[in-house]
């Protein structure tokens, strides 16, 4: 069984308003994102603000049998942990940013197959720019970009594995993605290279 967590509790400070509710064509960002996962998930759990939850519940795409909500936390890590505790199914879980509506369905299906074999998968892209290590505004060195992987979502895990990591670091809310929790425990996390275009909407320019 596949559970999907879609984070929807952010403050959108850099955007200036709730970016998840901004429309692209005839649907909001969060509706586009949910639709990408509806057919490939057995359940979708969304840690969301009250306003975002109310919007989703009134949406024509809302499926009350498949979609449920969890309390959002003061950090992304807390929100995901709340959602993990809300999941009905305990097999595999995908964790995805609500502000990444452009993920390809084929990539989602491939990641699901990968996690069944590897237990922990981080999707993303390899860097194409030259990468500089900088300290105090000064370049210290240029690193080999072939080893630089820019993490995106979805990230996929065996449920018990990622839940245990969240429990271990419940009081250390310093992680910005879920793969990092497993890395900190010495757990092997495999990479999956997404198709181009899996953009996260952060500022208005991204639209």
3-state class (DSSP) for residue 160: helix
User: Does 133 map to a domain?
Assistant: no
3-state class (DSSP) for residue 121: strand
User: Does 142 map to a domain?
Assistant: no
Domains held by the chain: number: 1
- The gap from C-alpha 116 to its chain's centroid, in whole angstroms, comes to 18
Read off the pTM.
Answer: 0.94
Burial class (CB in 10 A: 0-12, 13-18, 19+), 9: buried
> pLDDT tens digits for 47-89?
999 989 999 999 999 999 999 999 999 899 999 999 999 999 9
Cα–Cα distance between 147 and 101 in angstroms, integer?
Answer: 27
Strands 92-97 and 149-158: antiparallel
* CATH code for position 80: 3.90.550.10
Nearest 10 degrees: CA dihedral of 185, 125, 61, 47? 30
Residue 87's domain spans which residues?
2-124+151-195
Residue 16 in this model has a pLDDT that exceeds 70: no
């Amino acid at each position: 069984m596949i559970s999907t967590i879609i984070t929807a509790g952010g403050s959108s400070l850099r955007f200036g308003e709730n970016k998840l509710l901004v429309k692209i064509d005839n649907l909001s960002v969060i509706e586009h994102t949910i639709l990408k996962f509806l057919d490939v998930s057995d359940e979708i759990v969304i840690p969301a603000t009250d306003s975002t939850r109310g919007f989703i519940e009134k949406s024509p795409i809302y499926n009350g049998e498949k979609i449920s909500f969890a309390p959002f936390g003061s950090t992304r890590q807390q929100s995901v942990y709340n959602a993990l505790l809300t999941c009905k199914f305990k097999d595999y879980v995908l964790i995805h940013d609500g502000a990444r509506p452009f993920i390809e369905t084929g990539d989602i299906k491939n990641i699901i197959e990968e996690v069944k074999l590897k237990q922990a998968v981080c999707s993303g892209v390899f860097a194409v720019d030259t990468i500089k290590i900088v300290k105090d505004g000064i370049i210290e060195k240029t690193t080999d970009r072939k080893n630089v992987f820019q993490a995106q979502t979805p990230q996929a895990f065996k449920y018990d594995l990622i839940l245990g990591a969240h429990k271990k670091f419940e009081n250390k809310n310093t992680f910005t993605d879920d793969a990092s929790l497993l890395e900190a425990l010495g757990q092997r996390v495999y990479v999956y290279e997404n198709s181009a275009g899996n953009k996260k909407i952060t500022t208005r320019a991204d639209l």
